[in-house]
Structure 1
Amino acid sequence: MSILLPTSTAGSLPKPSWLAEPETIWSAWRLEGEALIEGKQDALRVWLHEQQQAGIDIVSDGEQTRQHFVTTFIEHLDGVDFTQRETVKIRDRYDASVPTVVGAVSRKNPVFVDDAKFLRQNTTQPIKWALPGPMTMVDTLYDAHYKSREQLAWEFAVILNQEARELEAAGVDIIQFDEPSFNVFFDEVNDWGIAALERAVEGLNCETAVHICYGYGIKANTDWKKTLGSEWRQYEEVFPKLQQSSLDIISLECQNSHVPIDLLELIRGKKIMLGAIDVATNTIETPEEVAATLRKALQFVDVDKLYPSTNCGMAPLAREVARGKLNALSAGAEIIRRELKA
């Protein structure tokens, strides 16, 4: 990126009320058929405009084209039965009714490529597209076929690589893999999780990112955070191996969290998409609060490798709150840019 401190969002942005119930994650579509396709495109245009108005440098679709950041991708795969559901514990935190892997998983057709092409046609800015990571996909299913988390992850990695190569060909500049599971299953991450993710990015020339956060501001996540003590050191378990990986960008959470900022030293050399906006509160940060978080990070991140971002997605927030937070992110980054030029 030629611009210093390029800003972006980690993931979702609120859906307009005519597309899905607002301020709710994973809410059902309010449209069907051709109207739904058009509605998703209209919502994408709305949030592209909002990002541009706020001065966001690396834009996305705000996940307007997806109902859920994992299962919308899985819905398009063979080998998974959405009518045969089981209750599993997601990321060791909360029970959820999930679809079942009943046979070999495969991808017959591209999933998000047409949506990415539409975004590309509507902007000349760098664009980022998010996909679920292999481990988080495994953790969002009941596996009655492979009966091996690792084997299923490798199968998903191959499928994700197919999708990622086509997204790159469609003009995507950064492909981000969402892996909140990396903050929970440390032994598996180091044994095979990062290796599976590297298989997913194999052969890509665009930039690749992995997003590891503490989740949306839902009760199961906020309750879990209360058990983590005064310092959140989960990143310490996975950063050393990620620092050695082929991933270009590590996306993580810092604003209003208890992550010790010096853990960033463990991934020095990587580009850091730093969460400087808290998505678990309706309080809009001031530009100076954003700038203060970025200043702390610059002690451990080279200035040309710092990408100010949000902690996670903002789907559960009101549109005006998300809009305010985007403006604060942009203004906070501009404060630091001016300081660096002074």
Structure 2
Amino acid sequence: MKKLLPTSTAGSLPKPAWLAQPETLWSPWNLSGEVLSEGKLDALRVSLHDQQLAGIDIVSDGEQSRQHFVTTFIEHLSGVDFENRKTVKIRDRYDASVPVVVDAVARPKPVFLEHAKFLRQQTNQPIKWALPGPMTMVDTLYDDHYKSREKLAWEFAKLLNQEAKELEAAGVDIIQFDEPAFNVFFDEVNDWGIAALERAIEGLNCETVVHICYGYGIKANTDWKQTLGSEWRQYEEIFPKLQASNIDVISLECHNSRVPMELLELVRGKKVMVGAIDVATNVIETPAEVADTLRKALQYVDADKLYPCTNCGMAPLPREVANAKLHALSAGAAIVRSELMQ
């Protein structure tokens, strides 16, 4: 029997201090060469162990082998120049120095396959692997070749589809596409963003997730969130089309996020990864608070379709805080699970 309310994380977990600078996004590696390759696998094992100790049901690599959830994939593609960077505004929010698309993009070889195989060898639990979504990839570089966000997104979708099929063949149970850009470019999402995402999942038999969120707890994001008002209803514009899409699961933040829970009614029938852990604070939720968030979500999501999760990745948090939050997530889910079984 499949477990009710299976817990998981939205993506990244903090890296050990010996691997990379703690509590930092885009953190530089502390190792190099062969030692770095070995260190990434060791960190993956540690991250898996931490998830297992916390009682997480659907485990991941904790994104231990990547500096960033988008650029690590792009680094492995041809047609992108990382040397001569340009500055762009990412998600209309903050400036970043980004690589430039100078030619047709291609994927000469698999990006995450070896690490996915390694994770599969380490556990019999269901595993989830995160990939960047096409629109968010487009938003994280400068395009000097296609001169069209939509065209570039379709090219990325094809490459992501190749990668996803190999991950599925390696035993990955759930493939998640991270699309924080879905929160910003609503017209584009409805015009071509969801269609490009469906191209990325074409032919997959494993479960597919789109993770849409208001971002990591970094200053640029928290400042932006202050401008959104007391209710974050932006999802209203894209949920109807997502509800009709081929994506199996929608992942979003529900704890401390000001997203009105009733918006989940718009995706009724879909599975939902309900973020019950706030990643923008070091305050550790109590199991009772997690349970409360899940109970509210259950008004709009059928119990067999609800996956308790974190709001977003936890890479910038101290490791002990992230671990404590994972324990709280498991304990809170257990409370509600037992209520549902009665």
TM-score range, shorter chain: over 0.9
TM-superposed CA distance for 1:198, in Å, is: 0.1
The C-alpha deviation readout for 1:173-204, integer Å capped at 9, x for no partner, is: 00000000000000000000000000000000
Query: Match of 2:137, as an amino acid?
Result: M
Partner of 2:315: 315
Aligned pair 1:190/2:190, yes or no?
Answer: yes
Partner of 1:40: 40
Aligned pair 1:209/2:209, yes or no?
Answer: yes
Question: How far apart in 2 are the matches of 1:319 and 1:51?
Answer: 12
Question: How far apart in 2 are the matches of 1:6 and 1:78?
Answer: 38
Query: Match of 1:155, as an amino acid?
Result: E
Normalised TM-score (structure 1): 0.99
Question: How far apart in 1 are the matches of 2:47 and 2:82?
Answer: 30
Question: How far apart in 2 are the matches of 1:198 and 1:153?
Answer: 11
Question: How far apart in 2 are the matches of 1:39 and 1:82?
Answer: 24
Aligned pair 1:276/2:242, yes or no?
Answer: no
Partner of 1:262: 262
Secondary structure of the residue aligned to 2:238 is helix
TM-superposed CA distance for 1:26, in Å, is: 1.1
The C-alpha deviation readout for 1:197-234, integer Å capped at 9, x for no partner, is: 00000000000000001001111100110000010011
Partner of 2:324: 324
Question: How far apart in 1 are the matches of 2:76 and 2:108?
Answer: 8
Question: How far apart in 1 are the matches of 2:193 and 2:124?
Answer: 34
Aligned pair 1:137/2:137, yes or no?
Answer: yes
Question: How far apart in 2 are the matches of 1:249 and 1:31?
Answer: 36
Question: How far apart in 1 are the matches of 2:72 and 2:341?
Answer: 44
Identity %: 81
Normalised TM-score (structure 2): 0.99
Question: How far apart in 2 are the matches of 1:62 and 1:257?
Answer: 23
Query: Match of 2:257, as an amino acid?
Result: S
TM-superposed CA distance for 1:33, in Å, is: 1.3
> Which blocks of at least 5 consecutive residues in structure 2 are unaligned?
none
Question: How far apart in 1 are the matches of 2:100 and 2:221?
Answer: 24
Partner of 1:164: 164
Partner of 1:228: 228
TM-superposed CA distance for 1:292, in Å, is: 0.2
Aligned pair 1:338/2:338, yes or no?
Answer: yes
Secondary structure of the residue aligned to 1:227 is helix
TM-superposed CA distance for 1:5, in Å, is: 0.1
TM-superposed CA distance for 1:34, in Å, is: 1.1
Q: How does 1:70-81 map to 2 (within 5 A)?
A: 70-81=70-81
Q: How does 1:119-138 map to 2 (within 5 A)?
A: 119-138=119-138
The C-alpha deviation readout for 1:287-338, integer Å capped at 9, x for no partner, is: 0000000000000000000000000000000010000000000000000011
Question: How far apart in 2 are the matches of 1:33 and 1:166?
Answer: 25
RMSD: 0.6
Query: Match of 1:162, as an amino acid?
Result: Q
> Which blocks of at least 5 consecutive residues in structure 1 are unaligned?
none
The C-alpha deviation readout for 1:68-105, integer Å capped at 9, x for no partner, is: 10000000000000011111000000000100000000
Question: How far apart in 2 are the matches of 1:138 and 1:80?
Answer: 12
